[in-house]
Amino acid sequence: MSTFTPLSYTSGDGLTLYARDYPAMATQGKPEPARLPVICIHGLTRNSSDFDELAPELARLGRRVIAVDVRGRGHSARDPNPANYNPMVYAGDIIKLMNDLGIARAVFIGTSMGGLITMTLAARRLDLIAAAIINDIGPVMSARGLDRIAGYAGKSAAFASWNEAACYLRDINACAFPDNTDEEWDKWARRAFEQRDDGLLSARYDPNIANGLRTGKLPPSSLAGRMAFRRLARRRPTLLVRGALSDLVEAEQARWMRKAAPELQYAEVPNVGHAPMLTEPPALEAIRAFLARVP
């Protein structure tokens, strides 16, 4: 199994941010030709550990993989100014990370919010993006999914046991992952929660990250978002992965995206909602085929 090196870097406004750095792995003992690295960006309430199974798969394809903790999540510092929890600031943090690491171009994988950050980056610095995989997200979203996420984001209580935390995650996500086992929910809990000094378990994010969603500052669609998507998907190889049960990118929104960008590649994950983990066989197969055509 691939291992990672923890990375620490400083944002332009002085926050200490974190990422996992997975080195490219040799195949059958032989080094692969140099391939562009992959930068993975998680969803709203998640963190870099969501990619702890996908990243080694990508590293085995001969690619360095960097999975970030967006500010306010995981090991990254919480921002004293909640107004900074927005895609434009997040994209700036990614630009700073790439500059610090000397990465001129990368392939991006963005789940949910991570896809919005990728599209924002396309509007600001398309030159940094060689290709992109956007996971169950787009510039047009269903209000139904946004309302569901707003109903729990930033509101989770502290729990006394890992079982309680796993049951909570199952309650709010079972509609999207009906086939998850108890073991899988426990794994999710250990990614999403951490133990405090008093022994209780709390979510690994600043509750203020959800302010924009709760106040309506993240609308289902915007002109700027649609322009950013077109700029990305018409000018860079782009793959949309969608959960067939998704309530955020429903069939209607997926059709809009495919019409707006006819070259957009598309993969659908059966019996999964928002958002696929990307290790499901249909998702992983599509990602491998997509990356095979990217330097």
Q: What does the pLDDT look like over 266-294, one tens digit per residue?
A: 999 999 999 999 999 999 999 999 999 99
The answer to whether residue 1 scores a pLDDT higher than 80 is no
234 φ/ψ angles, rounded to the nearest 5 degrees: -90, -15
Q: How far is 133 from 232, CA to CA, in rounded Å?
A: 11
Q: Which amino acid is present at 80? A: P
**CA 120 and chain centroid, separation:** 14
Hey, where are the domains in the chain? 5-143+219-292
Q: What does the pLDDT look like over 10-54, one tens digit per residue?
A: 999 999 999 999 999 976 555 556 799 999 999 999 999 999 999
Q: Residue 31 corresponds to which tokens in the numbers above?
A: 């080094």
Q: What does the pLDDT look like over 178-191, one tens digit per residue?
A: 999 999 999 999 99
Q: Which fold has domain 5-143+219-292?
A: Rossmann fold (3.40.50)
Query: What is the helix (H) or strand (E) element at residue 109, kind and residue range?
Result: strand 106-111
Q: Is the peptide bond before 275 cis (omega within 30 degrees of 0)?
A: yes
What is the value of pTM for the model shown? 0.96
Q: What are the residue ranges of helices labelled H in 159-210?
A: 162-173, 182-192
Confidence of residue 218 (pLDDT cuts 50, 70, 90): confident
**C-alpha dist (Å) from residue 23 to 26, 41, 75, 103, 285:** 10, 17, 20, 14, 21
**C-alpha dist (Å) from residue 204 to 58, 165, 191:** 25, 12, 8
